[in-house]
């Protein structure tokens, strides 16, 4: 089973290494020491922590509505690019950047603009997983 350094864990969680150290020192994230004394997080522990953290405020909207889409991200619109027919909307949800291509009409009807809070819902028939 893989183990991760504080820096590697931080990168996977989208936070600083100092934040991971604080979580470890506070008992939120279980760590062990290797022979050199460096702190390591076991892969299974990091995966559990990531799932728990994902259940936080950025994962599920407060006004959750019935939907078949299982991946919802509450975030803030950071960019809107509109042309004659289509538009590109960028959303920042915690450490995640999502980009959606929608119609110009949808942008206008929803009032999408930089600074607006939205829920991005993602449903995909294909999810690719790559190893580093």
Cα-flanking dihedrals φ and ψ of residue 7, to 5°? -65, -40
Residue ranges in 1-132 assigned as alpha helix (H): 6-13, 17-25, 43-54, 104-110
53-89 burial by CB neighbour count: b if 16+ within 10 A, else e? beeeebbebeeeeeeeeeebbbbebeeeeeeeeebeb
> Which candidate, 127, 97, 111, places its Cα nearest to that of 14?
97
What percent of the chain clears pLDDT 90, i.e. is strictly above it? 42
Separation CA 123–CA 125 (nearest Å): 7
In the chain, the domains with their CATH numbers are: 3-54 (1.10.1660.10), 71-122 (2.40.50.100)
The band of 56, judged by pLDDT with boundaries at 50, 70 and 90, is low
Whether 29 shows a pLDDT value over 60: the answer reads yes
How many residues appear in the chain?
Answer: 132
Helix (H, G, I), strand (E, B) or coil at 77: strand
- Kindly report, residue by residue over 65-98, the tens digit of the pLDDT: 666 677 778 888 989 999 999 999 999 887 788 8
């Amino acid at each position: 089973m893989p183990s991760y350094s504080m820096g590697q864990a931080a990168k996977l969680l989208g936070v600083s290494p100092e934040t991971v150290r604080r979580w470890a020192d506070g008992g939120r994230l279980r760590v062990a020491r290797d022979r050199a004394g460096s702190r390591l997080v076991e892969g299974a522990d990091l995966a559990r922590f990531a799932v728990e953290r994902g259940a936080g405020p950025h994962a599920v909207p407060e006004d959750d509505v019935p939907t078949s889409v299982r991946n919802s991200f509450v975030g803030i619109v950071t960019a809107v690019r509109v042309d004659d027919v289509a538009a590109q909307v960028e959303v920042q949800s915690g450490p995640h950047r999502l980009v959606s291509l929608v119609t110009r009409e949808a942008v206008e009807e929803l009032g999408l603009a930089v600074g607006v809070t939205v829920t991005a819902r993602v449903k995909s028939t294909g999810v690719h997983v790559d190893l580093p």
